[in-house]
Amino acid sequence: MDPNTLLDNILSQIKEIKNNLESYYDGDIDWVCYDLECFVEDVSNLNEWLSNGGFLPDKWNPNRKNPHIGSTFDSFLEEEENK
């Protein structure tokens, strides 16, 4: 299990849910269930990984050498939208 991949998936899923909120309110329940199922599975897996002594994802590790140090989730979303 790769916590970096899990965290990237979780952040992408949050973005996807946020972008699809209008569809959710219009009654497209299939997307709601699918997005939430994926989100819950990845959050559970990351929790299990960390609870069993696994290392933090790079984005959460304060000692990492990464240009995203100190970035917020909102800045992550902005970066993703500009890709």
| Residue range 18-35, pLDDT digits in tens | 777 777 667 767 767 777
Would you say residue 68 has pLDDT above 60?
Answer: no
Q: Is residue 52 part of a domain?
A: yes
Nearest alpha carbon to residue 32 among 16, 47, 44: 16
- Continuous segment of H or E residues that includes residue 6: helix 3-19
Say which residues have a Cβ less than 8 Å from residue 64's Cβ, sequence separation at least 6. Answer: 58
Cα 12 from Cα 10, distance rounded (Å): 5
What integer pLDDT is reported at residue 83 of this predicted model?
A: 63
Q: Is residue 11 part of a domain?
A: yes
Q: Is residue 23 part of a domain?
A: yes
What integer pLDDT is reported at residue 69 of this predicted model?
A: 46
Please give the residue range of the domain that contains residue 33.
3-60
Q: pLDDT exceeding 90 applies to what percent of the chain?
A: 17
In the structure encoding, which two tokens stand for residue 17, read together? 């849910």
In the structure encoding, which two tokens stand for residue 24, read together? 């959710």
Q: Is residue 14 part of a domain?
A: yes
Q: Is residue 42 part of a domain?
A: yes
Q: Is residue 77 part of a domain?
A: no
Would you say residue 11 has pLDDT above 80?
Answer: yes
Mean pLDDT value across residues 49-78: 71
Domain count across the chain: 1
